[in-house]
Amino acid sequence: MKILAIESSCDETAAAVIENGTTILSSVVATSHQMHEKYGGIVPEVAARMQLESIIPTITESMEIFGTSSHTSLYERINDNIDALAITIGPGLIGSLLVGVETAKTIAMATGKPIIPVNHVLAHMYANFVNVKQSDKNNKVTKSEKSQIQFPAISLVVSGGHTELYLMESEKKITWLGGTIDDAAGECFDKTARLLGFGHGGGLAIQNAAMKCGITPYKTTQSPHLPRPMLDKNNELNFSFSGLKTAILRETQKIQSANRWNEEAICALSYEVQEAITDVLVKKTLLAADTYAASSILLSGGVSANFRLREKLQQRIQDAQPSLSLHAPPIELCTDNAVYIGSYAFFRGTPTPWKTINAVPDLSVEEL
Ligand code: KG4
Ligand code: ZN
């Protein structure tokens, strides 16, 4: 079954064709990151306007890569080669969601193809179900693919807007276990990046700066130290990152007022921020795995691209729970794209009359 999936929940516009939920036939992602750089964050109106311009070219390109004849119209190509459509309906920015949802509904109406509404946050975890390229298989931390995943699995979805833990008992049965009570881990990375002068570079910029420090930097009395929020409440599977954001701001002010603000100090602070966030994510994920006697852990969402998060989890599993297997998508499938939207639709979606499909910006990620 070939699904044309469309995603436009934040500032990306993406389209992909995916077969039987696991084989990528094409994947195209257009982003308006550069437009937001000058404003220091995503401007919803700017994002939606760019998406309006790029949605049809993105869908067209995804159908061209997939190999359908360029002599026919987009309508004919979809009609002749696609079995169903998948569309992200939320959660996300209303203007952005509307662009994707209304486009997908129009295609469904014109072609008569079934259309499957998709929850963006839940869909992230299905990036682990997709067949990976040989080059990705050589990376020992990245070992995804549906055939390798054993249930029950604990799934950590960690992105710019969400930090959620789920129990996955099968490819369909998902239970929400906990999530952030305030900010997401990705937001903490993003705000820190801006504070440290990395602009819109986000978690990747922090990761790169932290790497300059080496794996375990030499600690001095001046080394920054940040809290690991909610770790003391060991029996809880919730997260909180807003206090950490404030602590990072205070640490920054302390270093600046002591006239120690230089590249070395910025790298040391980046390292500590990454350690604080990943310590919390790793501890809670392993606690959930222990509590629910999980066989696998699935990472997904933009922050799951973080090298240190992957490395730390892998290390702890090797030391303490070697029977657990860790799965993380290839880096390009961690951040927003349409591949996992199509995979979710195949494994867990329900075709729905196009007239009843609407964008739902505050779509629940807890009541499934
Ligand atoms: O899943 P995603 O593309 O969008 C949302 O659904 O939110 O995630 C974006 C988030 C941003 O917060 C970005 O800073 C973070 O993923 N991110 C990273 C890394 N790459 C992207 N965070 C930490 N380390 C990375 N290497
Ligand atoms: Zn996302």
Rounded to whole angstroms, the Cα distance separating 47 from 32 reads: 6
Cα of 336 vs centre of ligand 2, distance in Å, is 5
pLDDT of residue 240: 94
Closest CA to 15 of 27, 24, 30, 3: 27
Q: How many CA atoms lie within 13 A of 349 on its CB side?
A: 29
Most ligand 1 atoms within 8 A of CB, residue of 335, 336, 339 to mutate: 335
Residues 6+ away with beta carbon under 8 Å from 58: 13, 14, 15, 28, 29, 30
Q: What pLDDT is attached to residue 328? A: 95
* pLDDT the model gives residue 43: 81
124 Cα nearest atom in ligand 1: 1
| Mean of per-residue pLDDT scores for the chain | 90
Bridge partners, residue 253, by sequence: none
Q: How far is the CA of 335 from the centre of ligand 1 (A)?
A: 6
Strands 84-90 and 2-7, by their bridges, are parallel
Which ligand 1 atom is nearest residue 334's CA? 1
Tens-place pLDDT, residues 286-336: 999 999 999 999 999 999 999 999 999 999 999 988 999 999 999 999 999
In ligand 1, the atom with minimum distance to the C-alpha of 189 is 14
pLDDT tens-digit readout, 178-199: 999 999 999 999 999 999 999 8
Residue 244 scores a pLDDT above 90: yes
Ligand 1: residues with CB < 6 A are: 10, 159-161, 186, 189-190, 202-204, 207, 301-303, 305-306, 335-336
Asked if the model's pLDDT at residue 108 lies above 50, the reply is yes
- Decide if pLDDT at 141 tops 60: no
Ligand 2 centroid from CA 249, angstroms: 26
The mean pLDDT value for 353-361 works out to 98
Q: For ligand 1, atom 23, which residue shows the shortest CA distance? A: 203
The 3-state secondary structure of the chain reads CEEEEEECCCCEEEEEEEECCCEEEEEEEEECHHHHHCCCCCCHHHHHHHHHHHHHHHHHHHHHHCCCCCCCCHHHHHHHHCCEEEEEEECCCHHHHHHHHHHHHHHHHHHCCCEEEEEHHHHHHHHHHCCCCHHHHCCCCCCCCHHHCCCCEEEEEECCCCEEEEEECCCCCEEEEEEECCCCHHHHHHHHHHHCCCHHHHHHHHHHHHHCCCCCCCCCCCCCCCCCCCCCCCCCCCECCHHHHHHHHHHHHHHHHCCCCCHHHHHHHHHHHHHHHHHHHHHHHHHHHHHCCCCEEEEECHHHHCHHHHHHHHHHHHHHCCCCEEECCCHHHCCCCCHHHHHHHHHHCCCCCHHHCCCCCCCCCCCC
**Most confident stretch, 44-48, 62-66, 163-167, 216-220:** 163-167
Q: With a cut of 70, say whether residue 174 has pLDDT above it.
A: yes
Q: Tell me how far the alpha carbon of residue 76 lies from the centroid of ligand 1, in angstroms.
A: 36
pLDDT confidence tier of residue 105, bands split at 50, 70 and 90? very high
Residue 57 C-alpha to ligand 2 middle, in angstroms?
21
**Which mutation among 303, 336, 337 tests ligand 1's pocket best, with the greatest number of atoms within 8 A of CB?**
303
Closest alpha carbon to 157 in 296, 364, 334, 362: 334
Distance 124 CA to ligand 2 centre (A): 6
The encoded tokens of residue 214 equal 């080496």
What is the 14 CA–ligand 1 centroid distance (Å)? 16
Residues 302, 304, 307, 309: is their CA dihedral positive or negative?
positive
Residue 305: nearest ligand to its CA?
A: 1
> Looking up tokens 């982003």, which residue turns up?
31
